[in-house]
Amino acid sequence: MVIDLRVFLLFFAILILKFSMIFDVIAPNNADEYQYVTKYTANLLTTLRLSLGDFDFGVLQDNEIEKDDDGNVIRLPLNKKQHILFWITWVLMVIFSSLIFLNFIIAEVSNSYANVKVNIDSLIYKERAGLINEAEDIMSSSTKKTNKKKFPKYIVVRDRED
């Protein structure tokens, strides 16, 4: 199933990366929980959380602008244009990641399940044949030669039509 999802996971990673860069330009995340990682990594993690439905709007409270002469960080709220741009980007992110993309993943998982369900009978027969082969390998060669009922000199093959 993971192999079937590799294209979608790559697309999801690109989507997260793209929206992370957009949020980095609009309003970088300065939350205390990301103090030990870089700002870009903080935005990447925030965007990943946002795409999975964890809506944290702490970035709207204040935004780091620059440091003053004493080295203190000046934090100002987002202006009106940044606010509008943030919400437009947020809505696009929710639409693309949650509604559309996660539905694609559910459809692909359902498709993988359907493929397994179609091939289940042949897999069961293959496993049974393997178990029979292992059981026959355990028996001694003298038993195989003397027991004509269990080990005939011929094999019956039947084709199955579906």
Amino acid at 29: N
Residues 108-126 as b or e (16 or more Cβ within 10 Å = b) = eeeeeeeeeeeeeeeeeee
Whether the predicted pLDDT of 62 surpasses 60: no
The pLDDT score that the predictor gives to residue 22 is: 84
pTM for the structure as a whole: 0.54
| Tens-place pLDDT, residues 81-115 | 877 887 888 888 888 777 777 777 788 888 888 88
| Tens-place pLDDT, residues 63-86 | 555 566 666 655 566 678 877 887
Whether the predicted pLDDT of 26 surpasses 60: yes
| Tens-place pLDDT, residues 135-153 | 888 888 888 788 888 777 7
- Strand pairing of 73-76 and 63-67? antiparallel
Considering the chain, what is the average pLDDT of its residues? 78
Which has the higher per-residue pLDDT, 15 or 35?
Answer: 15
- What domain range includes position 37? 1-162
The domain spanning residue 14 has which CATH number? Answer: 1.10.287
81: which 2 tokens? 């244009």
The domain total for the chain is 1
